[in-house]
Amino acid sequence: MMNILITFDLWLRKVLAFFCALMLLLMVMFTVYTVIMRYVFENPPVWGDLLTVLSNIWLVFIALTLIVRDKDHIALTLIYSRLPKTLGFALQQFWTLVICGLGVVILVYGMDVVSTMSGKYWEMWHFTWENGAFEFKPNYMPKRYAMIILPLSGALIILASTVTFLEDTIRFKKGTYQHPGDEQLSE
């Protein structure tokens, strides 16, 4: 069972890292295309800047999940290393729980935003599921489609912080726990 969870964790990290790389690539492509169309052809697309911003937002929220899981977020590494191991561990676990709470807030309020957000992006086309098939809609993508990243990232942050909390607890009980950043200090 544990091997399945470890495999799922590694697979999820790879998928999220690929998604972040894709969003970064899209940001660059949309920006380059918009700049070329604006300054060379004097005919910029109306959707170029919006897609660049949306790609950036999605990249940041998904990258936050990876950062939480890898414990690369803002941490009190210097303080952890100066405290007794038990106290440093407790402080680290408290910080992980605070981040989990942030994930809950993002999830709850994100679901509220998605369910209540009105308005549409007039310059964006989209697909909808109607009559048992995807149908192309030429304009007016609902803004809630872009906001779906909030509850999604909130759920992923909760998952990442929970796994990190449990993983660190198990390592602490086994005596193999190291504070984040201890690897760099020992090298």
- Estimate to the nearest angstrom the gap between the alpha carbon of 122 and the chain centroid: 26
Residues 2-44 have pLDDT tens digits of 778 888 889 999 999 999 999 999 999 999 999 999 999 988 8
Q: Any bridge partners for residue 128, and if so which?
A: 135
| b/e sequence 129-146, b meaning 16+ C-beta within 10 Å | eeeeeeeeeeeebbeebb
Residue 152: what pLDDT? 95
Residues of the chain with pLDDT > 70: what percent?
86
How many Å apart are CA 63 and CA 71, to the nearest integer?
12
The pLDDT tens digits for 57-91 are 999 999 999 988 887 766 666 777 777 888 888 88
Q: Name the burial class of residue 41, with classes exposed (0-12), middle (13-18) and buried (19+) by CB atoms within 10 angstroms of its CB.
A: exposed
pLDDT at 99 over 50: yes
Give one word for 18, left, alpha or beta, with left for phi > 0 and alpha for psi -120 to 50: alpha
pTM over 0.75: yes
